[in-house]
Structure formats: C-alpha cells, structure tokens
Amino acid sequence: MIEILTPGALATVQDLGRTGALGWGVGVSGAMDGMALAAGNILLGNAEDAAAIEIPVFPFRLRFATAAVVAVTGANAAVSLNGRRILPWWAAQAEAGDVLEIGPPGPAAWRAGRAYLCVAGGLAVAPVLGSRSTQLRGAFGGHEGRPLCEGDRLPLGAQPFRAACADCGLVPPALDLPLEAEGIAAVRALPAAEHDRFTAAALDAFWNEPWKVTPQSDRYGFRLAGPILELLAPMELRSHGIVPGVVQVPHGGQPIVQMRDAQPSGGYPKIATVIEADLWRLGQAPIGSRIRFIRTNWEEAVEALDRNKAWLAEARRLVDLRRLQERAA
C-alpha cells in the first residue's frame, strides 16, 4: 500500500491503455509515454503494462506503508527517498514508512515533462474494460476515475515472478533513440485523409515550421501554435472515427494533435497522423516547447515501431542479466 501525501495536479493511475473499446465510444487512455512506463516495469520485473502513476506536475510525494522496490522513469526528475537522492530510471528499495519525493525535472540531454512512478507488483486498482488506466472524461478506471488526491491509498499487486532488479537502471530511450529536425524535437507523421485539401503554403508550413505546444494542451489533445493552416476551399465533414496521433485542423487553422484521452470521433479536417512509434515522444513535450513534424511513409512507420520493440527487448535482456549477476554475487 502507498499513501499519497502531495499529489501535485492531474496525477493519475495509467497502464498501456484500454484497447478494443473504441467501437463503443470509449477512448484508449493509458500512459502518454508508454515507453517510460514499460521500461519502469521491466526494471521491477512487472508485466510491461502494469499500472503506475503518471505525474505531470511537481512536486509529488508519497509514503510506503510496506516495503517495496520502486523506479521513476520518464522525466529527468529530482527523486529522493527520505531525503536521499536516487537516480531516475533506476530501481531502488523503499522500506515501510519511507517517503518518496519527486521534484521538477532538471537540465538534461533530453526534455520530458512527465514522470512515471512504477512499483514492483504494480498498482492493484480494479480493471475496467480490461485496463487500469484512468479515463478522466468518463470518470472511470484508475483510482475512482479521477486524479489522485492527498490521502489516497493505493494497493500494490503481488510481487512479480521475476524479482525486481535491486540496484540497476536504464538509459532513457530519448538518448538511445534521438529524433530532431534542425535542433528541434521531432515526431514522424503520415499524411492523413484531407492532407491534399490544404493549400501548398499550409503544407509547406506544417512540414517545415516549428510548432509550439500551448498551455491549452492536455491528455485529450495538444493544441499547437504556429502558421495558420488554410484549406483550398471550406469543407464540412461528418463526425468519424479518430485515434491518438491524428492531427486535426479546426476553423482557426491551428492544429490539434489527439492524445491518449482523445474522444473516438471528430469532424475536423485531418492533415496528418503522428505514427504510433513516436506518440511517446510527443507525450513528453513540455508546455511551451517546440516540435517539428517529419513526413514519413508506412514502411518507415512500421520500422520505427520495430525499433521501439527492439529497445524494450534489449532492456529486458540487460535487466535479466543484471539479476543473474546479483544472484551469483
């Protein structure tokens, strides 16, 4: 059991998402940075989709009611256990009564705005429609379907079959798999259905100009600021199915990228879709930062997803090797 002491704001329980329910009008939810959540679970011997806490606002503090092994991934946050600094992306032992504090991210070779608190055994909140992720708009899943509050107590799951790595860590994928365009963090995207209905100037701006992540961005969608994207002619669309990563352009001409809590339908013209392999990169873009879109194709999108899977497989191999070394010592 863990007890929340300082929740920050909008911290939620998340796993890798709720699949198979879009046809019922239920979005996927899940971690904005699935790579960070999966990596934290790998360090702890959990299944990659075990539930953890996503933390977008700092500081965040909690107390352990029982001993546990913990790892904080995602942002390069200032993590301390009873005042003793521990590294992010590193497994550490906590004892009953210990207080863990996660402070604002410091300077790093990578920019990330969200931290993930993973615990050996995962968080044992009740699954809803096959997932423990919080769906804020529907107010279900996670812990009572809402952000965490001071005094909340979350149960821990049974210890995993693989023991947690007692003292080891991982290099963040943002360093192993960097992606930039002219020094600006970038994500790859595919042209979407209405791509060619935009003017040549709009398409040139979308693919070649930086876009600012505005304060109006959240788990539902990232609202971007930059050049006005104009259509060749006004058009109206019936609402139709959309998924996280779709870049819609409303009447004001400023794009909105649908994120993990996106509604499953919409009617704005779609200029592009961020590939699945890069959604974690976009999910970590801090408010006020700039991003670039890199045009790609289907084959490159599949290859990028394979590289992500290969990175996680290598992380599992290295952590398992470290466990064997610990047992032999």
Question: Per residue in 276-289, pLDDT tens?
Answer: 999 999 999 999 99
* Distance, first Cα to last Cα, the chain: 31
Pair (10, 68) in one structural domain: yes
- 78: β partners: 103
Work out how many domains the chain is built from and give that number. Answer: 2
The average confidence (pLDDT) of the chain is: 93
Pair (115, 184) in one structural domain: no
Per-residue exposure over 109-131, b if at least 16 CB sit within 10 Å of its own CB, e if not: eeebbbbbbbbbbbbbbeebbeb
Pair (48, 166) in one structural domain: yes
* Predicted confidence (pLDDT) per residue in 65-124, tens digit: 999 999 999 999 999 999 999 988 999 999 999 999 999 887 665 678 899 999 999 999
Indicate whether this model's pTM tops 0.85.
yes
**21 pLDDT tier (thresholds 50, 70, 90):** confident
Q: Which domain holds residue 127?
A: 2-170
Pair (13, 152) in one structural domain: yes
Pair (90, 223) in one structural domain: no
- For residue 311, being part of any structural domain is answered with no
Pair (39, 16) in one structural domain: yes
For residue 236, the domain's CATH number is 2.40.100.10
- Closest to 76 in 3D by CA, of 182, 171, 2: 171
Pair (217, 131) in one structural domain: no
